[in-house]
Amino acid sequence: MTVRDIITRADAGVLHVSFSRPNKKNALTLAMYDGLCAALAEASNDPKIRVVVLRGEGGTFTGGNDLADFMQNPPSSSDSPVGRFLLALSQFAKPIIAAVEGPAIGVGTTMLLHCDLVYAAHGTRFQMPFVPLGLSPEAGSSYLLPRLVGHPRAAELLLFGEPFGPELAREVGLVLEVLPPEELHSRARERATALAALPPASVRLTKQLMRGPIAAELSAALAAESTAFFARLRSPEAAEAMQAFFMKRKPDFSSFT
């Protein structure tokens, strides 16, 4: 099934979900978020689907949000397509595996914090450039990332928003394995198929027991981040950062307080 640049394919108990906008580095539009919500709902409601695999087409995971789309139609609440997707992702009961290669920018990195197994190809570039864009963290990353990697490392990654490679991602626990690009998708598919063959209720219960203790705090973090992020989208700093991005110049924040 193809829905607005999102392709889904079911095979052996696994729903493969692909970002399919390679000419735009799979940058996510609001319509694509709607498609992702539909894909997760499909997987959640179909008892034959036991595992979800996320991947990008064309050698790219995703370049993050499509900034032109976001600035033209900025989301204003957690009931927006992006808000609904992040909530669905954080509450998804079945295992999620990600196969990541090429750029994984912004939400392309933060969504991985909700995945149970993440495999990355050599040369993958992760980045969370929220602060440089005048924005703030999203997808629960302000809560999940310090919990995963510790506060100092999380502060470095979130405050500076600089790119980092798969080796560091594996070192801090964001990525499980780093593989040659030609082996990435076969490895993710093999692990997903093996997981789908295990007792499904036991698999879901195990994920619930691991994720359950942080559910309330994560929900609160998502709500707080949404309020802050949507406000930042309309901030003068974000306007300057976005204008500089589209004009291909360096932003100037010297007059801001």
Give the model's confidence band at 79: pLDDT under 50 very low, under 70 low, under 90 confident, else very high.
confident
Tell me the three state secondary structure of residue 174.
coil
Confidence at residue 32, expressed as pLDDT on a 0 to 100 scale: 93
Q: Which domains does the chain have, with CATH numbers?
A: 2-182 (3.90.226.10)
Looking at residue 73, its pLDDT comes to 75
Give yes or no for a contact between 154 and 145, defined as CB atoms under 8 angstroms apart.
yes
- Can you give the pLDDT at residue 80? 85
Q: Which helix (H) or strand (E) holds 177?
A: strand 177-179
Report the pLDDT value the prediction gives residue 148, as an integer from 0 to 100.
96
- Residue 240: predicted pLDDT: 93
Give the Cα separation of 223 and 78 in Å (integer).
Answer: 7
Residue 1 pLDDT: 56
pLDDT at position 257, please?
A: 87
pLDDT (average), residues 50-60: 97
**Residue 211: per-residue pLDDT:** 95
Query: What is the value of pTM for the model shown?
Result: 0.94
Residue 248 phi/psi, 5° resolution?
Answer: 55, 45
Average pLDDT over residues 131-152: 96
Element (H, E) at 9: strand 6-11
Q: How far is Cα 11 from Cα 130, in angstroms, rounded to an integer?
A: 36
